[in-house]
A and B are shown apart, each in its own frame.
Chain A
Amino acid sequence: MSARTRPITTTAGTRPFAFSEAALAECKALMARYPEGRSKSALIPILHIAQSENDGWLSVNAMDAVAHVMGLQHIEVYEVASFYSMFNLHPVGTYVLDVCRTAPCMLRGSDDLIAHLEKKLGVHCGETTKDGMFTLKGVECLGSCGTAPMLQCGAGYHEKLTIESADALIDALRARNQRTNYTDQ
């Protein structure tokens, strides 16, 4: 935390990015659904698509591709991507575990859950396991307070977690070894 913060353009990677045909069509459809001249409204949905097509994070190239498709200045994309917590500006693991840590979850044991996951995975919140399988994130209220503690992985909510069920979830995910995204059907 005390490290001096660097701008995203120097940290968000350099590997190439291109939208798939299907994704490109989806982007065009999204842009067309707003009133004339308001296609910028599609930026957040399109960033979600780009993130799903780029292994779960937004590289500078991915954001630049979004800017190109939408006819926006690069900075218009960067400033939005850096605002929203669901957009990862650094590489993430195959699975991103968003563990809710806000007060209602805390009352029902999220501190213990997070401590357990940190120990089990050998990482702190915000870090990715060495094998690249899991990124553990502490996130703010996910609207699942009655079924706390919980975590989100991809589009799925995993609720009423216990140490045992969290372990089982981790093992099952590891065995499946297939990326999940927020946009998954």
Chain B
Amino acid sequence: MSRKLLFEHIATPGIRGLEGYRANGGYRSVEKALRTMSPEAVLEEVKKSGLRGRGGAGFPTGLKWSFLAKPEGVPRYLVVNADESEPGTFKDRYLMERIPHMLIEGMITSSFAMGAHTSYIYIRGEYFYVARIIEQAIAEARAAGWLGKNILGSGFDHEIHVQVGAGAYICGEETALLESLEGKRGNPRIKPPFPAVMGLYNCPTVVNNVETIAAVVPIVNDGGEEYAKIGIGKSAGTKLISAGGNVKRPGVYEIDLGITCDEFINSDEYCGGVEGRAFKAVVPGGSSVPIIPYELFLKTATGESRLMTYESLADGGFATGTMMGSGGFYAYNDAQCIVRSTWNHARFYSHESCGQCSPCREGTGWMEKILHRLEHGEGRSEDIDLLWDVQRKIEGNTICPLGDAAAWPVASAIRHFRDEFEYHIRFPQKVKDPKHFEKEPFARNPKFATA
């Protein structure tokens, strides 16, 4: 049974309002930090906790904060990334919808550590109704003195604004998000300079995911060391995983990092196994991470049990491993077609490419067209190698990570399911029916089992 640090009170009636939140220990971290701690001490706790960015990259949060430049007379900003658009991910929406004050509390405490007097929540436009919930929570918090001037008589001022986007996956990339927040197209910036030096309005800025900021609350309340006791090694604490696809019990789960993948996908506490059929493949961290066969998800290539940690999921590199990513977990049953899903992914990245740099702008569209041809029974024998070469030439050659994110799902699908691609070329008539594997699941050829 995993501990609940973020979700301890998620089902408590009235938790969405300030009164209910406060009655269940809400805003204690603000009291503790502002009354008894220095900003440096808060940063120290976050460092000790081993918390890593929960948005996907997994960069140590304390380290990120410590990079924040502090020139005299220049404001600093905290920007919360609530753009949550990685396919498969819906944990932040769940958190913001049900327990909005936790995000606000985390923002006040974190901003205190950074010396930021204004912070923004950049929330994707489709979550307009969630933005309303947060705005209401901010109004409550302001009325109760948790926001505004001289909070708790500490001399610390803070204001939070909610900014809505308008539909663009790329705005989840931190520099594109900042561009969008400045009222421009969401084109990622060329780094360096990094946001910690030149971010929002050219001022030092920290951009953190919703879950990361919420995790600061228990870290400050109970101390970084307590938090670091949960998990294994560099994967400390709890993580929200949003589970979808063909699992029996989709939903958002808070897990201790370090439980086995088998437990997560099969136990009734979490996903509860597969609905009706057999599992075929898993995407454990959002559509950008490599897809792996179910067997490789359960056990690493060396036969060890795979764990839900950053390191274990990545064990074996891209040959046999994958990534934790944002925790957007989805599983495929044996009725699903990997080629169709890969085409779907490619269409997504082609649609969401910002168009700024050429490998991504042109390459994502090209991959989509080749995969469309394959999936619709018009594939050619050279298509698989062509696809492999195109993804290879996108990866690593773009301004921002979207290029990599577009290449990895294609590469991993070919790496692990090449036989299925070949089947599409060999039997074009059979794949004309979009549900070609529903009646007769694709039987994997052991010769292609893993790369």
Give CA–CA (A41, B86) in the complex, Å.
24
B242 close to A84 (CB less than 8 A): no
Which of A38, A44, A139 is in CB contact (< 8 Å) with B164?
A44
B244 close to A146 (CB less than 8 A): yes
Give CA–CA (A79, B186) in the complex, Å.
10
- When distances are taken between beta carbons in the complex, the residues of chain A under 8 Å from B93 are 143-144
Which of B161, B245, B348, B434 is in CB contact (< 8 Å) with A33?
B161
Proximity bits, A146-164, B CB within 8 Å = 1, else 0: 1110001001110000000
Which of A7-15, A106-114, A126-134 interfaces with chain B? Answer: A106-114
Which of B90, B168, B185, B287 is in CB contact (< 8 Å) with A103?
B287
- When distances are taken between beta carbons in the complex, the residues of chain B under 8 Å from A144 are 90, 93
**B180 contacts A by Cβ under 8 Å:** yes
Q: How far is the CB of A95 from chain B (nearest CB, A)?
A: 16
- When distances are taken between beta carbons in the complex, the residues of chain A under 8 Å from B92 are 143
Give CA–CA (A139, B169) in the complex, Å.
11
A185 close to B132 (CB less than 8 A): yes
**B351 contacts A by Cβ under 8 Å:** yes
Q: Which of B338-364 contact A (CB under 8 A)?
A: 340-341, 344-345, 348, 351-352, 354
A102 close to B344 (CB less than 8 A): yes
A83/B330 contact (C-beta < 8 A), A48-B166, A152-B126, A157-B129 known = no
Proximity bits, A69-87, B CB within 8 Å = 1, else 0: 0000000000110011111
**B448 contacts A by Cβ under 8 Å:** no
- When distances are taken between beta carbons in the complex, the residues of chain A under 8 Å from B180 are 44
Which of A79, A80, A140 is in CB contact (< 8 Å) with B169?
A140
Give CA–CA (A146, B332) in the complex, Å.
13
Chain B residue total in the interface (Cβ 8 A): 57
Proximity bits, A174-185, B CB within 8 Å = 1, else 0: 000000001111
Give CA–CA (A111, B434) in the complex, Å.
9
Residue among B245, B341, B345 with the most chain A CB within 10 A?
B245
A103/B345 contact (C-beta < 8 A), A143-B127, A146-B244 known = yes
Q: How far is the CB of A52 from chain B (nearest CB, A)?
A: 11
Give CA–CA (A102, B169) in the complex, Å.
12
Q: How far is the CB of B442 from chain A (nearest CB, A)?
A: 15
**A142 contacts B by Cβ under 8 Å:** yes
A43/B183 contact (C-beta < 8 A), A108-B244, A108-B246 known = yes
- When distances are taken between beta carbons in the complex, the residues of chain A under 8 Å from B165 are 44, 84
- When distances are taken between beta carbons in the complex, the residues of chain B under 8 Å from A155 are 128-129, 132
Which of B125, B164, B330 is in CB contact (< 8 Å) with A104?
B330
**B218 contacts A by Cβ under 8 Å:** no
- When distances are taken between beta carbons in the complex, the residues of chain B under 8 Å from A80 are 183-185
**B40 contacts A by Cβ under 8 Å:** no
B126 close to A108 (CB less than 8 A): no
Q: Which of B108-126 contact A (CB under 8 A)?
A: 118, 124-126
B243 close to A146 (CB less than 8 A): yes
B128 close to A183 (CB less than 8 A): yes
Give CA–CA (A175, B434) in the complex, Å.
34
- When distances are taken between beta carbons in the complex, the residues of chain B under 8 Å from A87 are 166-167
A85 close to B132 (CB less than 8 A): no
A41 close to B332 (CB less than 8 A): no
A83/B168 contact (C-beta < 8 A), A102-B87, A108-B246 known = yes
Give CA–CA (A79, B354) in the complex, Å.
12
**A123 contacts B by Cβ under 8 Å:** no
B125 close to A145 (CB less than 8 A): no
A85 close to B344 (CB less than 8 A): no
**A173 contacts B by Cβ under 8 Å:** no
Give CA–CA (A47, B201) in the complex, Å.
21
B125 close to A148 (CB less than 8 A): no
Output the nearest chain B residue to A154 by Cβ-Cβ distance. Answer: B128
B75 close to A35 (CB less than 8 A): yes
**B252 contacts A by Cβ under 8 Å:** yes
Q: Which of B81-139 contact A (CB under 8 A)?
A: 84-90, 92-93, 118, 124-129, 132
Give CA–CA (A141, B283) in the complex, Å.
15
B128 close to A102 (CB less than 8 A): no
**B182 contacts A by Cβ under 8 Å:** yes
Q: How far is the CB of A29 from chain B (nearest CB, A)?
A: 11
A86 close to B167 (CB less than 8 A): yes
**B181 contacts A by Cβ under 8 Å:** yes
Output the nearest chain B residue to A146 by Cβ-Cβ distance. Answer: B250
A35/B201 contact (C-beta < 8 A), A84-B168, A107-B336, A157-B129 known = yes
Output the nearest chain A residue to B328 by Cβ-Cβ distance. Answer: A145
B246 close to A141 (CB less than 8 A): no
- When distances are taken between beta carbons in the complex, the residues of chain A under 8 Å from B348 are 102-103, 140-141
Residues of chain B at the chain A interface (Cβ within 8 Å) = 75, 84-90, 92-93, 118, 124-129, 132, 161, 163-169, 180-186, 201, 242-246, 250-252, 283, 287, 328, 330, 332, 336, 340-341, 344-345, 348, 351-352, 354, 434
Identify 15 residue pairs between A and B in the complex whose beta-carbon atoms are under 8 Å apart, listed by A's number: A35-B201, A79-B184, A85-B167, A86-B125, A87-B167, A103-B88, A103-B348, A104-B88, A106-B341, A141-B287, A142-B126, A145-B89, A147-B250, A182-B126, A182-B128
